[in-house]
Each structure stands twice: as C-alpha cells, then as structure tokens.
Amino acid sequence: METTLRGVGVSHGVAIGEVRHMGTAVLEPPAKQIPAEEAEREQGRARQAVEAVAADLIARGNLAGGEAQHVLEAQAMMAQDPELMADVERRIAVGSSAERGVYDAFAAYRALLANAGEYLAGRVADLDDVRNRIVARLLGVPMPGVPDSDEPYVLIARDLAPADTALLDPALVLGFVTEEGGPTSHSAILARALGVPAVVALPGAGELAEGTVIAVDGSTGEIFVEPSAEKRAEMESAAAARKAALSASSGPGTTSDGHKVPLLANVGGPGDVPAAVEAGAEGVGLFRTEFLFLDDSKQAPSEEKQVAAYRAVLEAFPEGRVVVRVLDAGADKPLDFLTPADEPNPALGVRGLRSLLDHPDVLHTQLTALSKAAQGLPVHLEVMAPMVADRADAKAFADACREAGLQAKFGAMVEIPSAALRARSILREVEFLSLGTNDLAQYTFAADRQVGAVSRLQDPWQPALLDLVALSAEAARAEGKSCGVCGEAASDPLLACVLTGLGVTSLSMGAASIPYVRATLAKYTLAQCERAASAARAADSAEEARVAAQGVLSGE
C-alpha cells in the first residue's frame, strides 16, 4: 500500500528504485589493556592508519574534483590533527590498543564540540567518519560506505559523510535519503553539485526495509513508499517534462516578459569552473575563497598562490561578473592562525570580517592578490565581506579595499539580521549587497544550519526570512544599487521566482541548479513573481508560503 513520507528536499529530480542501506558503522573496539612493551608498536600502527586514511581521503578528493575536493582535503587535515594524534599516543602509552586509543581520543574531541553547543555539528559528522575509517583500518574490516550493487538503487543512510557523497556514481545511486542533515549540510551541497536527487532530515528513514521500492522527489522532499503504477507514471512524466524544459532553456536568466535576472554560479575554486561554464552561468555570484586557506590551517597561503587561484577563475568569465567573498573563517571553518580556539559559541564570536579586521595583514594580502589577479582582464570583479553587522563594518572593509588599491566594486554580505534591518545605512559605504540566506536563516531563527532537528527553521521559505530579503532589496532599490542572493535559497526554482518578485537583482547557486532556475523563471512574468512574493510573505509558515506562491504561479 502506498504511503507518503516528507523530509527536506535538497537536490532536484526524481528517483524511483529499491532501497539499499549504507554499510553499518564500525563497532566499538574492545577496551583491553596491552603490555607496556607493545605501546611503541601500537603507536606506530595508529600513525600508519591515520596517514593511510588521510591519503585515501585526498585521493578521493582528487578523483571527485571541484568543491568535493576541498571538503575531503579538510577532512584529511582533521585526521592528521597533531593534538588528536598526541592524545591517541598518550592513551596508548597507558595501556590502550591502537584502535581503542583512536576511538577514545576522537570521542573526547567529539564531546568537546558537542559541549560547545553543537555549532560545529557539521564537523562532528565529518569527525565520526574519519574515526570510523581509521578504526576500520586498524581492525582489518571493510570501510563503512556505500553498498556494492550491480543494479541502480536509492541509498538510505543516517547521514552521509563527504567522502561517500563525493564519489557516488549517479549511474548506480539514483538518489539518496538521510535521517539527519539539513539543506545546507555538506551532503546536501555535494548532492546538488552531482545532480543526484536527495532528501534529508527524514525521521525513520532507516526503518525502510532493504529492497522496498520508493519514489523520491528531491524538489518537494516527498518520499512515496511502494508507489502505485499511477504515481510512478505521474512522477516519471513530470521528470520527463522537466528534462525537456531544461534542454530547451538557454541564454541569460529572464522572466517571460523580459525582466533580466542574471544567473550566476557558486564556486569554491578553479575546479568548479567547468561545470559553471557548461551550465551557462553568466558569471560567479559567490567565489568561496576559504577553501584555498583550508589547505593549511597553520598559515595563510602566499600572495603568489592566491593570485594563481583567483586568476584561473577570473579568466573563465571574460567580461562577466565575478563576485569574490574574502576569507570567511571561524565557526565550522576554524583556522589556527586566525580564529580563537576557546570561544564558547564560535558562530556568534570572531568570525568572517571580524577575524580579518583583527588580522589586517591577512586581509591586505588577499585584497592585493585579487587586485593583481584581475590586472589586464576584462572581467567585472566585485569583492564582498562576510558577516557585516553594521555601517562601521562596511566602512572598515571599503577602506581596506581602497588601501590595497583594489579596482573593483566593494560589497557586503547580509547574513546577520541587523544588516538587513539597516541595509540602507550599509549601502552608503558599499556598492552592492549579497544575501547569504543560509546564515541569515541560522541567525534569524537561532537554528544551527547543520542540525537536522531544527531544519524546519532553516527552510528559506520562512516568511520572516522573506521579510528580511524584501527589506534588503528595497534598500538597494532606493539607493540605486544591486542586491543578489548567493545562499542555497537561490537554487530552488519556485523560490527563485519569489526572490525575483521581492526585488532581488541576481541569483547565484550551484551549477547543477542553473538550468532548473532558468527554465522556471522563463515561464512567468515579473508581475506574477511579485504576486507570488506577496502571497508567500502573507503566510505564517514555510509550507504555507510555498503553497501560496505555487498557487499564484499556477493560476489557482
């Protein structure tokens, strides 16, 4: 009998197939004491396992490329953390086996993060995966991971580590469903990059029996268990129609009556550029430069290394617009040389622009590198600061840009509610705004973006969040300046229409989402988008807002 479940849709498309479950996690190793004379040998085994796992993660990253590569390289650094390794060796010295020492050291570090309020919950999931891989190697058992199968399937997991998500084969893994995670988790972002339909935050997903046929709608978040022939035909027909619409859609982003909405790509570095170009991106709306810095958490990359990475991206979009976000460190992206190690709530502490203003040499080097990278290129370079709270922040950033001799537009990200509420004041110091809806939702609703239990509050359809978007867009219009969206909200085709109706002037997203958004925008007039936006803001919940907007656009 057909039943319907609902999670959070995070990657467009439809997948219909049999359930296969992720391999079970590594069992807890026994807490046996080892003789003192074996301690040195066990410490050597632990070091070898750590280095092997780190090498495997880097190799997986090289195979995956793009944003996945940066995520996996960060995981490899986590495996090799010297403080963690020192704790492992201390535990072995007092009698633990190599595998038990690793297990207990990682558990202690995990507890520290949890006690900090789980602001680093996304890194906790990555930490668990690294631990499991090291312990599995020491125990000589298979690594946890995706199941072996000759037939295509829908993957079910409690959560997916980046190392697994990055190398999913779309020819075999039709889609995936997880119990945990949120719309801005690593798995969600990588799923969109792969173009694999995905639903996260579905309670009870692990109870779906192996071999059960399910239909996954990655747009709505609906899961149909044992779908009827009629439901399967309906979903397959809708998927075919969507594919045809995507194939027919090309060119710049525009509504059906010619209102231009540039569609830009979010990239993490040169590796993400080919997919963006292929998708027809009109430029880059968010160049996340922190991945370059995460290669070595002990020191900032040299100016020469930065120039080379920036120029590779700028050259890919001749005469296009490239918006670069300066280093956004802190919270779930700590850097030893930049961010405090003892903050109780890192997401509410010294992160983003605050870190850079405390380390002006790091900011100056990055701005100088951007200036040199753009020399001689016809690209339209724009540079923005993360985590701008008020006009004083905006002025400090603009002054730093001018001091570095940067010939570019200076902008501010709107990720803190105060910036949206005082957007017009901020725009007296900078030339554009860019809304980071992921963090803006987190701070508006006090809901950690990595915690699945509060995923309903991370939903970008929340009317309160739409109100803040509208405030920012209205301020930009009044000042004659631009206001884009570069958060994950822009990747939802229906929401992209609503954002356009709110007055947003550009949309930036993962490359895989661009064709969906382009095709959907082209179906509606600007007036229809404006009416849909008004209907969504008048609602009292995210679901009501989504339904109200859909009703307006479908003519109901």
- In whole angstroms, give the CA distance from residue 314 to residue 459: 32
* Amino acid at site 82: P
Give residue 297's pLDDT: 60
User: Any catalytic annotation for residue 12?
Assistant: no
Look up residue 419 and give its amino acid: A
Starting at the earlier edge strand, list the strands of the sheet with 173-178.
Answer: 3-6, 222-225, 213-217, 14-21, 153-157, 173-178, 198-200, 8-11
Nearest CA to 103 among 12, 182, 28, 215?
Answer: 28
- Asked about 259 being catalytic, the answer comes back as no
Q: What is the pTM of this model?
A: 0.70
Per-residue pLDDT of the chain (556 residues; tens, 9 = 90+): 678 999 988 888 899 999 998 876 656 888 888 998 999 999 999 999 999 888 888 887 777 666 677 777 777 888 888 888 999 999 999 999 999 999 999 888 877 765 544 434 456 667 788 888 899 888 887 666 777 677 899 999 888 777 777 667 878 899 989 988 777 666 777 777 777 899 988 988 988 988 899 999 998 899 999 999 999 999 888 878 777 777 777 789 999 999 999 999 999 888 889 989 988 999 999 999 987 887 666 788 999 999 999 999 999 998 889 999 999 987 666 677 777 767 777 778 888 999 999 999 999 999 999 999 999 999 999 999 999 999 999 999 999 999 999 999 999 999 999 999 999 999 999 999 999 998 999 999 998 766 667 778 888 999 999 999 999 999 999 999 999 999 878 988 999 999 999 999 999 998 888 988 999 999 999 999 999 999 999 999 998 999 999 999 988 6
Indicate which residue of 401, 483, 486, 529 is catalytic: 486
Could you please report the per-residue DSSP string of 59-112? HHHHHH-HHHHHHHHHHHHHHT-HHHHHHHHHHHHTT--HHHHHHHHHHHHHHH
The two three-digit tokens of residue 377, written as one number: 């290129």
Residue 115's CB is within 10 A of a number of other CB atoms, namely 9
pLDDT at site 182: 73
Distances (CA, A) of 364 to 110, 127, 404, 455: 35, 33, 6, 37
Predicted local distance difference test score (pLDDT) of residue 142: 65
For 502-542, the three-class secondary structure string (H helix, E strand, C coil) is HCCCEEEECHHHHHHHHHHHCCCCHHHHHHHHHHHHCCCCH
Cα separation, 269 vs 437, whole angstroms: 21
Write down the catalytic residue from 186, 483, 497, 529.
186
pLDDT of residue 543: 87
Residue of 191, 169, 261, 280 whose CA lies nearest to 515: 280
Q: Helices 66-79 and 39-64 meet at what angle, rounded to 10?
A: 170
What tokens does 233 get?
């035909």
> Residue 431: what pLDDT?
98
Q: What is the 3-state secondary structure (H, E, C) of 236-250?
A: HHHHHHHHHHHHHCC
- Taking every pair of Cα atoms in the chain, the longest distance, rounded to a whole number of angstroms, is 79
Residue with tokens 């979903």: 235
Residue 122 is predicted with a pLDDT of 52
The pLDDT, as a whole number, for residue 337 is 74
